[in-house]
A and B are shown apart, each in its own frame.
Chain A
Amino acid sequence: MLNFDLVDKRFTNRVILSQFSYQFSQPHYCISGKNGIGKTTLLLMAAGLESPNDGVITFNQHSVLTINAKKNIGISSDKVLLPEFLTAHQLISFHCQQHQISYPDYLLTSLNFTELLPNKVSELSLGNNKKLSLILALAHQPKCLLLDEPSTGLDYDSRAWLLDYLHSYTNTSGNVSSNNSDKNGSQRQIIVTSHEDDFLQDTYYTQLSFAELVETNTNLNKV
Chain B
Amino acid sequence: MLSDNKKTHQTLALNYLGLGYLGLRYQIYQQQLKAMFTALAQMLYFFMMALYLALPAMFLSALISLSVIADINTDLLERVGYQWGYFLLIFLLIRVQKSAILASQYQYFNNTLIVANKWRITGSIGLTLLAGNAPLLAPSLLALWIPNVHILMNQFYFVLFAINVLLTAFFTLKNKSFLWLSLFIFPITALLLSKHATLITPLASTRNATLLNFLWLAMLLLETLFSSYLFQLYARLKSNFALNKTTFSLSGKHYWQFRLIDIKQQLAPNLTRLFSLLLIIMTVLIFQSRMHAIANIPIQLFISYLFSLLIGSYHYDNEAFYQQYRYYLSSILLTPKARYFYDNLSTAFLALIILMVSIGLLNFNLWILLILPITTAITVISIHYFPRNFFIAPSIFTLSLVCAYLYF
Contacts and interface: CB of A to CB of B under 8 A. Distances in A.
A103 interface: yes
B406 interface: no
A102 B247 contact: yes
In order of increasing CB-CB distance, the 9 nearest A-B pairs are: A97-B248, A103-B246, A49-B330, A80-B327, A49-B327, A85-B265, A98-B333, A85-B262, A118-B239
B61 to A, nearest CB: 34
A79 B246 CA distance: 27
Which interface class (under 10, 10 to 19, 20 to 34, 35 or more) fits B? 20 to 34
A81 B333 contact: no
A61 to B, nearest CB: 19
A85 B263 CA distance: 10
Given A67-B335, A93-B245, A102-B246, A83 B251 contact: no
Interface of A is mostly: loop
A5 B242 CA distance: 44
Nearest to A114: B243
Interface in B238-254: 239, 242-243, 245-254
Contact of A117 (B243, B248, B333): B243
Nearest to A102: B247
B265 A89 contact: no
Given A83-B258, A85-B261, A47 B331 contact: yes
A79 B258 contact: no
Contacts of A81: 324-325, 327-328
B31 to A, nearest CB: 21
A50 B329 CA distance: 11
A98 B250 CA distance: 8
Contact of B332 (A79, A98, A102): A98
Contacts of A96: 246-248
A115 B95 CA distance: 32
A87 B243 CA distance: 11
A35 to B, nearest CB: 19
A44 B251 contact: no
B331 A90 contact: no
Nearest to A117: B243
A206 B115 CA distance: 60
